[in-house]
Amino acid sequence: MPRTYNQIFLDARKRLKEYGVEAYSLEARVILAHAAEKSMDVLMRDMHLYSATGVEERVEELMNRRLRGEPVAYITGEWEFYGIPLEITSGVLIPRADTEVLVDTVVNALRGRKMDARILDLCSGSGCIGCAIAKTLPATRVVLVDNSRKALELSKRNALKNDLLPRVSFMEADALAQPPMMLGSFDMLVCNPPYIPSADIIGLEVSVRDYEPRAALDGGDDGLDFYRSILSRWRNVVRVGGAMLFEVGIGQANDVAELMRAAGLADIGFVKDTLGIDRVVYGKI
């Protein structure tokens, strides 16, 4: 006899909690909704109903993948960032809540001041940062730049999903090389680059180390390779009076700030995340 959606949810939640998943309730709902092919709102409405044929089997299959360490975003192919829905594949980093601090900083800097800014999102991955900015500030124009063609194809789908074309555009380029000649100039460059020191990657949790793309994590020996390259090679794509904003890893804020000062940026500032960690460093050209 089939169980109700709520019974399946409670079982999945218990297993995820025992496995050590921090957001065990949320992930159990996400997995169940995906298996049942229901939106979250519809699932919550139907929790007391008996599940449809095949749902328990699909939940079991998805749970087995999760309990082997695969992130739920890759299992379902979906994620939410800054209130917008995104398609996510294993070729890109899964957007983190910490990165929403970078979007907040951009929005707070532009709202009521430069609403029609032209913004470069470098190392754009899924396009989460640029799409969130464009969705929140409808007069902005955003260029997403990544060295992965597959990531750019994904970000195009995410821009289309959120009705952001043609204000959001795309270009293939490497942050460790010189910018393309025809890129143009920008009011703001935002970037969440790879910043994990190479030797630290082996110590990351399984769901990150074994499933997320190393190229999106590895920042070189000290984790600062991308900051150095971007500040030396990409600084001139930002107009005088514009700004550069970076997400940084724990303990990196002061080092990145020193690199920004050495590159001639002024008015360097920091923004903390919800845990009080300096997560964003910004400066003006």
pLDDT over threshold 90, residue 77 = yes
Average pLDDT, the chain: 96
Which of 215, 140, 224 is closest to 174 using CA atoms? Answer: 215
What string of H, E and C letters represents the secondary structure of the chain? CCCEHHHHHHHHHHHHHHHCCCCHHHHHHHHHHHHHCCCHHHHHHCCCCECCCCHHHHHHHHHHHHHCCCCHHHHHCEEEECCEEEECCCCCCCCCHHHHHHHHHHHHHHCCCCCCCEEEEECCCCCHHHHHHHHHCCCCEEEEEECCHHHHHHHHHHHHHCCCCCCEEEEECCCCCCCCCCCCCEEEEEECCCCECHHHHHHCCHHHHCCCCHHHCECCCCCCHHHHHHHHHCHHHEEEEEEEEEECCCCCHHHHHHHHHHCCCEEEEEEECCCCCEEEEEEEC
Burial of 71 (0-12, 13-18, 19+ CB in 10 A): buried
Q: What percent of the chain has pLDDT over 90?
A: 94
List, for residues 238-276, the tens digit of each pLDDT value. 999 999 999 999 999 999 999 999 999 999 999 999 999
Q: How confident is the model at residue 2 (pLDDT cuts 50, 70, 90)?
A: confident
Is the pLDDT score of 114 beyond 90? no
Every domain of the chain and the residues it spans:
5-68, 91-284
Q: What's the pLDDT tens digit per position in 5-39?
A: 999 999 999 999 999 988 899 899 999 999 999 99
Which residue do the tokens 């003006």 mark? 284
pLDDT in tens, 162-213: 999 999 999 999 999 999 988 999 999 999 999 999 999 999 988 899 999 9
Residue 237 — very low, low, confident or very high, per pLDDT cuts 50/70/90? very high
Question: Residue 139: its pLDDT value, please?
Answer: 97
pLDDT at position 29 is 94
The answer on pLDDT for 126 being more than 90 is yes
Architecture of domain 91-284: 3-Layer(aba) Sandwich (3.40)
- At 23 the pLDDT is 86
